[in-house]
Chains A and B, each alone.
Chain A
Amino acid sequence: MNATIAAIATAPGEAGIGIVRLSGEKSLEILDHIFMPTKGNSIKEYQSRRLTHGKIIDPKTKQVVDEVLVTYMKAPFTYTAEDVVEIDCHGGIVPVRKILELVLRCGARMAEPGEFTKRAFLNGRMDLSQAEAVMDLISAKTDKSFDVAFGQLEGSLSKQVKKITDTLLEMMANITVNIDYPDEDIEEITYQELLKGANHIKKDIEQLLRSAYTGKIIKEGLNTVIIGKPNVGKSSLMNALLKESRAIVTEVPGTTRDIIEEFLSIQGIPLKIIDTAGIRETEDLVERIGVERSKEFFNKGDLVIFIVNASESLTEEDKKIIELLQNRKTIVLMNKTDLPIVLEEEEIKNLLPNKKIIKISIVEEKGLKELEDTIVDMVYGGQIKQKEASFITNVRHKDTLEKAKMSIEEGIDAIKQELALDFIEVDVKNTWEYLGEITGDTVGEDVIDQIFSKFCLGK
């Protein structure tokens, strides 16, 4: 019996259809929770391998998420040799992500990279030579997940989760010491204290979850690089998009010395905006480091936003950037249209054919809406493709956070009912374990270490 897994089978952002795939014995049961067929009563009455039309409905809010076609494929004659369900929905990030979130909430687990293939192999659907390829895939993943883990270790998400797990650990130590050392001279922990602690933890998890929705913790959004010569308004644009002051914006060229990253979501699409220091040749060592990194980030970007100053003619630096942009997905912003316009749109069109050009005044907040709409169109139109793995990471974290929240809520219930400490500890520990999946920690000696460092015990 394996857990039922789910993943988006198509690359997000692509036009046409998106597919969410489930595999495992609960696939049909999960589908039943969220799917309302157009004809007939229940999906369970439908035959294997037949397309069924209907709607995906959020069981909590009763809202229609998307109109879809679903296929149920009965084990063992499927790719994974398990029950498989495929949900064909409208393409683009929003519907597929919503549906994926729903199936995860209904009991599926996010699939690991390559897990469908791994299951296919383990269930005897592949031969040995194909298996070797799977092995490569998994070992490749080892390195990759190491990178990801490493990256997140430094990240703010991990730091915030760590703060919560530390509080949980303390709570567990307090409970455990009461259980394991009943004869010692230790104050009994009260239900009020427990409730206060648990409520606090719940609040922290909820806060993290909220920020997951607004995009603050989404480390791996669509990589969007803002580029342009110094003082053209890169940082101002970023601030305008974020509607808060994050980068230092001044009149001295090259003030934004380092790369600044921010995360935001535009109509549900997670963006990681990278404000670069510009790529001007410079004598200043600190700034030169910034410039080197700009180029690096520039090369990694999924989308480039290039800003020119509409109140001056193009400089050498602008032209250098234009050369780099030929084969990139680019939106050109002609900024400072509040000043007398010197630069003609035609000139840019000639240099950068087929690129979207938007006239904008960041100071007067003109043209920002058009920029947002353009980005959304490009994503839905499939012009920009996001790298898949990064997207998964986010959903998985959210999924884990939801489960942690559920556990602590069960713990709060147990505390309110004044159940015995050992039951409460089960929920607290489960919460800890879910969060540990994000930071990569496991329970074990930690609690015991904590007990012995905090309490004086012994014969």
Chain B
Amino acid sequence: MLEKFKAENYDVVVIGAGHAGCEAALSSARMGCSTLLLSINLDSIAMMPCNPSIGGTGKGHLVREIDALGGEMGLNIDKTFIQSRMLNTAKGPAVHSLRAQADKQLYHIEMKKVLENNVNLDIKQGEVIELVIENDIVVGVVLSTGAVYGSKAVILTTGTYLGGKIFIGGVNYESGPNGLASSKELPKNLKNIGLKLRRFKTGTPARVDQKTLDFSKMEEQPGDERIVPFSFMNDHLEKKQVPCWLTYTNENTHEIIKENIHRSALYGGEIEGTGPRYCPSIEDKIVRFSDKNRHQLFIEPEGLNTNEMYVQGMSTSLPEDVQVRFYRSIPGLENSKIMRPAYAIEYDCIDPLQLKLTLECKDIKYLFSAGQFNGSSGYEEAAAQGLIAGINAALKIQGKESFILDRSEAYIGVLIDDLVTKGTNEPYRMMTSRAEYRLVLRQDNADLRLTQKGYQIGLVKEDRYQKFLEKKDNIEKEMKRLKETCVTPSMANEFLEKMNTATIKSGVSIYDLLKRPQITYEDLKEIDENRPNVQLEVVEQCQVQIKYEGYIGKQLKQISQFKKLEMRKLDMDIDYSKIDGLRIEARQKLNELKPLSVGQASRISGVSPADISVLLVYLEQQRRKRGDRDE
């Protein structure tokens, strides 16, 4: 029998110090709540147990949004990256995506430093084995040492630790990620308090020793010459970058894998969890896409002070001896030595349909959760949820209105709405195609979309806010100047001919000329005589807003349609089974999910447009009955 003792009280306790936990703890502390961040091992704070990079398509957008709201991820990767690339530059501005390779050790060290030096925030090594619940309200946590911490809110950010189990071929054992201890007691307790848990699976490839690789057989992939920072707070970054390397599998690799497929934990049937489709293991790729005779892989450095290299594209659950053989069948890896074998990991997480849009649990008040525990995958997805959970825990304690971003405001809104409204059957990864309004939700305007909101809730501090106002002001000024600056045919026609675009017959504004696809802002310098010195970020904004005015306008129109239903709020205590006209399935689903707005209700699977009409009429009836006509 564990001897319990009373320890301190906090406003917020965060369980787990991964990417979700760090953002959750920082946001709640920065918003004035005394916060305790607990981790099974303090040396694994902000650990990157899989790929050594932050950002990418969709994910880069998330990092920019976290930054715009006053989160830490963007700042931390800017301090610790060793290579930076803007992806998709050949495509439109909405899908440009920033990705940076991180020095993993450094990333951990820098994040830990920030946490340690943040006011209102304590960090402690300890394993939570129980939540203290009173009348469906969480009031504290119990550690394996017997310490009982009281708290007004608890945020679960347990990653892959809960009931973690690692698979390497036929070998499997209980473990958290990367050889760390798993959490065995807490999942039992969570089931006891009524949460519905399920098993998900993910995996990571092997790490190989740099000195055993032959890079002359691979293709070098350098970083960008012009480094674009993740954080709005950084204007310019100069750094020596290190390359990644590209190579391919071949028929021989595939033969070795096929011969040993029966030894894969995935195909052997030991794994019960659901894995993500977007990061299939190499055996999965070979079985499902048997017509492909090669698959590409990237060799990425894990840091500047290590020989370890990450083999992107080669996640597997085959046994270690097979891993060694097929890794060595790849050009440049013939003599490779594996420093950490690839593994698959299975863990407990919840069905996110049990959560509100604030990431608070519907059935247990003041209990929030974020990250892989909510069924997502990826550092950035975790951090984004952590931030929102931390914000909402703080706001709730302070008795303030909750903070929800909708699908037209941020990728974060899309992410959370997808999770809690539609649910997910595999670890959820952000993609730009999940956002309906992606022309508006660009990574280049995350600050313009969100910093004001971050300031209002008190997370964005004065320095950032002033910098933001200045940029906004500069954009407005430059837009105005471009509209008001006109050129005459005699000034412009020679230039226009040179640019292969139609000449003009009367005066035209620079603004209108910039709309032409053949002409960039930079080109126009030639005829834009008194152009002031304008920051690159300001130019970028003006250019995007002017050039894509038509398409952006189309989406803005769609957004105003969308907003109408989002504004129609639904009370949590509506009993949908009593609303005549709703179909049975809709009644059940609505009662189960308790959506916040008619808009959210319309995205629930099993709720039809006709049901939505019925709901609207019902709302109007209720309003009349209450007699408050001006709501």
Contacts and interface: CB of A to CB of B under 8 A. Distances in A.
Contact of B580 (A135, A178, A452): A135
Given A138-B581, A142-B614, A456-B292, A426 B431 contact: no
Contacts of A131: 617, 620-621, 624
Contacts of A139: 580-581, 614
Interface in A136-175: 136, 138-139, 141-142, 145
B432 A179 contact: yes
B87 A183 contact: yes
B264 interface: no
A180 B431 contact: yes
B617 A456 contact: no
Interface stretch (B147-155, B169-177, B275-283): B275-283
B438 A422 contact: yes
Given A138-B614, A458-B313, A180 B58 contact: yes
B554 A426 contact: yes
Number of chain B interface residues as a range:
35 or more
B432 A180 contact: yes
Contacts of A451: 433
A457 B279 CA distance: 7
Q: Indicate the member of A1, A121, A138, A182 with the most B CB atoms within 10 Å.
A: A182
A458 B95 contact: no
Number of chain A interface residues as a range:
35 or more
Contacts of B608: 142
B610 interface: yes
B236 interface: no
Contact of A176 (B288, B315, B433, B625): B433
A456 B620 contact: no
B278 A423 contact: no
A422 B439 contact: yes
Q: Indicate the member of A1, A141, A142, A421 with the most B CB atoms within 10 Å.
A: A142
B285 A138 contact: no
A441 interface: no
Interface string B292-324: 101110100000000000001101000000000
B57 A181 contact: yes
B57 A179 contact: yes
Interface in A423-449: 423, 426, 444, 447-448
A396 B226 CA distance: 53
Contact of A448 (B95, B313, B431, B618): B431
A78 B548 CA distance: 40
A459 B621 contact: no
B92 A420 contact: yes
Given A179-B432, A426-B554, A458-B279, A421 B92 contact: yes
A128 interface: yes
A367 B126 CA distance: 96
Contacts of B181: none
A426 B555 contact: yes
B619 to A, nearest CB: 9
B617 A118 contact: yes
B433 A180 contact: yes
B278 A426 contact: no
B91 A458 contact: no
A185 interface: yes
Contacts of B57: 179-182
A139 B581 CA distance: 5
A338 interface: no
Interface string B595-631: 0000000000000101101101110110011000100
Nearest to B625: A128
A419 interface: yes
A118 B439 CA distance: 34
Contacts of A176: 431-433
B380 to A, nearest CB: 14
Contacts of B278: 452, 457-458
A118 B610 CA distance: 13
A420 B620 contact: no
B412 interface: no
B50 interface: yes
A422 B92 contact: yes
A253 interface: no
A452 B517 CA distance: 34
B257 interface: no
A289 interface: no
A184 interface: yes
Nearest to A430: B554
Q: Indicate the member of B91, B284, B629 with the most A CB atoms within 10 Å.
A: B91
Interface in B527-574: 548, 551, 554-555, 560, 564
Contacts of A184: 296
Contacts of A1: 560, 564
Contacts of B555: 426
B205 interface: yes
Contacts of A459: 50-51, 205, 279, 312-313, 315
A122 B620 contact: yes
B50 A448 contact: no
A179 B312 contact: no
A112 B97 CA distance: 42
A447 B551 CA distance: 21
A417 B614 CA distance: 44
A141 B280 CA distance: 46
Contact of A417 (B433, B517, B621): B517
Contacts of A141: 610, 613
A124 interface: yes
Contacts of A179: 57, 88, 91, 95, 432-433
A134 interface: yes
Contacts of A112: 613
Given A135-B581, A142-B610, A185-B295, A423 B617 contact: no
A168 to B, nearest CB: 14
Interface string A201-232: 00000000000000000000000000000000
B583 interface: yes
Contacts of A419: 92, 517
Nearest to B425: A445
A145 B609 CA distance: 10
A135 B620 CA distance: 11
A19 to B, nearest CB: 24
Contacts of A180: 57-58, 431-433
Nearest to B280: A458
A395 B60 CA distance: 45
Interface string B217-259: 0000000000000000000000000000000000000000000
B312 to A, nearest CB: 5
B613 A128 contact: no
Q: Indicate the member of A124, A138, A141, A417 with the most B CB atoms within 10 Å.
A: A138
Nearest to B602: A442
A139 B586 CA distance: 13
B617 A121 contact: yes
Nearest to B58: A180
- 7 shortest interchain CB distances as A-B pairs: A420-B92, A139-B581, A422-B92, A456-B289, A142-B610, A452-B277, A458-B279
Given A179-B57, A420-B93, A459-B315, 18 more contacts: A134-B617, A135-B580, A135-B618, A136-B581, A138-B610, A141-B610, A419-B517, A420-B91, A422-B94, A423-B439, A448-B431, A448-B434, A451-B433, A452-B278, A456-B288, A456-B289, A456-B292, A459-B205
12 contacts: A135-B581, A135-B614, A135-B621, A138-B613, A139-B581, A142-B581, A142-B608, A145-B610, A179-B57, A180-B432, A426-B439, A458-B313
Interface of B: 50-51, 57-58, 87-88, 90-95, 97, 205, 277-280, 284-285, 288-289, 292, 294-296, 298, 312-313, 315, 422, 431-434, 438-439, 517, 548, 551, 554-555, 560, 564, 580-581, 583, 608, 610-611, 613-614, 616-618, 620-621, 624-625, 629
Interface of A: 1, 112, 118, 121-122, 124, 128, 131, 134-136, 138-139, 141-142, 145, 176, 178-185, 417, 419-423, 426, 444, 447-448, 451-452, 456-459
